[in-house]
Amino acid sequence: MEKLKVGIIGGGRIGRVHAQSITNLVPSAEIIAIADPFMNEKLESWAKDIGIKETFKDPYDIINHKDIDAVLICSPTSTHTELIQASAKAKKHIFCEKPVDTDLKRIDETMNVVRENDVLFQIGFNRRFDHNHNDVHKAVMNNKVGDVHVIKVTSRDPEPPSAEYVKGSGGIFLDMMIHDFDMVRFLSNSEVKEVYATGAVLVDPEIGKAGDVDTAVVVLTMENGALAVIDNSRQAVYGYDQRTEVFGSKGCAKVENDRKSLIEISTKDSVESEKPLYFFLDRYMDSYATEIIDFINSVQNGAPIKCGIEDAIRPVEIALAASKSLKEHRPVLISEIAISK
């Protein structure tokens, strides 16, 4: 069988993670080219080392490459809609990092171009592929939990971003909690109907000056009647805190944090165990690999896309509703925000 030929747009950290995953773990695919406007000697040497033959500065050298079957778009968010549309028109299958955009209209247009050109599209909500959260999802889908009543997601970063970063981030809901909005949809197998958001500046006053909050608790009412709650903090000093729970008529499924090892040390002072994994790439490495393996499996073998067009749109709607809710201090219906059906 011929290998699937993949091109990567964006040679930053996440682009390189995906390149490594395919090289190491997907013998049926090969990355034949990578493009980055800041292509330099170091990046070229890295590419060569893992067997990528062609390097470009211009993403259109990937998009228009006649040998390439699928592109991974790992460039900054502001470039996503243009590159997705061009790739779709060039009949390439597309994996794109989240989010497609922060403007719903542009997302909607872009998804329409994807649909019209009949290419496969996967959005990079990697946490769906995490061994822990995915097992909670499976417990729900296998009816171990029964009808879903309450979904709880705790998501706290180990270190706050700079106020500078926050300014351009679109705010905590679009930048950080968007993962958790998708997680609630994924775990509950239902869509969000209404959002009520609370927020506070408790970690860093500079984040407040930048117009954002650093601590947020959001309540969601789901279309199937369930209630969900997400709490976010920009700083958990003990590490990356990532826990989910689904409670329902037949029981409750939940996951605690992964740790580097399971050591437990008992002394006269206490019983100590390891902190949660600190860095998101340590915590979610398996999910980054699995999402790409699954994407290539969809392209090559027709397996259904597990995180597709709907998933590119809905979390952004929820995030925008949450921002509006926080600003207007009232519950906001998704239908006030949504432009697509």
Within positions 272 to 311, which residues make up the interface with a second copy, using CB under 8 A? 272-276
Asked whether position 253 contacts a second copy by CB under 8 A, the answer is yes
The stretch among 31-39, 53-61, 92-100, 261-269 that binds a second copy (CB under 8 A) is 261-269
Q: Do the Cβ atoms of 255 and 175 come closer than 8 Å?
A: no
Q: Do the Cβ atoms of 276 and 241 come closer than 8 Å?
A: yes
- Tell me which DSSP letter residue 338 carries: -
Asked whether position 265 contacts a second copy by CB under 8 A, the answer is yes
Q: CA dihedral in degrees (96, 99, 104, 105; nearest 10)? A: -30
What are the tokens at 47?
């590419």
Q: Do the Cβ atoms of 100 and 80 come closer than 8 Å?
A: yes
Among 136, 309, 312, 322, binds a second copy (CB under 8 A): 136
Among 48, 281, 330, 336, binds a second copy (CB under 8 A): 330
Asked whether position 42 contacts a second copy by CB under 8 A, the answer is no
Among 39, 163, 202, 285, binds a second copy (CB under 8 A): 202
The stretch among 11-19, 72-80, 146-154, 297-305 that binds a second copy (CB under 8 A) is 146-154
The stretch among 92-100, 213-221, 287-295, 313-321 that binds a second copy (CB under 8 A) is 213-221
> CA nearest 198: which of 247, 238, 239, 232?
232
Residue 116 or 282 with smaller CB distance to a second copy: 282
Asked whether position 204 contacts a second copy by CB under 8 A, the answer is no
Among 4, 86, 236, 332, binds a second copy (CB under 8 A): 236
Among 2, 38, 67, 267, binds a second copy (CB under 8 A): 267
Q: Measured between alpha carbons, how far is 120 from 303 in angstroms, rounded to an integer?
A: 11
Instruction: Annotate each residue in 18-37 with x if it binds a second copy (CB under 8 A) or - if it does not, as one string.
Output: --x--xx--x----------
What are the tokens at 158?
């180990």
The stretch among 67-75, 84-92, 134-142, 291-299 that binds a second copy (CB under 8 A) is 134-142
Residue 116 or 223 with smaller CB distance to a second copy: 223
For the stretch 218-243, what's the b/e string if a residue is b when 16 or more beta carbons lie within 10 angstroms of its beta carbon?
A: bbbbbeeebebbbbbbbbbeebbbbb
Cis geometry, peptide bond prior to residue 276 (ω within 30 degrees of 0): no
Query: Sign of the CA dihedral 200, 160, 130, 181?
Result: positive
Amino acid identity for residue 236 in this structure: A
Asked whether position 1 contacts a second copy by CB under 8 A, the answer is no
Asked whether position 189 contacts a second copy by CB under 8 A, the answer is no
DSSP assignments along 9-37, one per residue: E--SHHHHHHHHHHHHH-TTEEEEEEE-T
Instruction: Annotate each residue in 70-109 with x if it binds a second copy (CB under 8 A) or - if it does not, as one string.
Output: ----------------------------------------
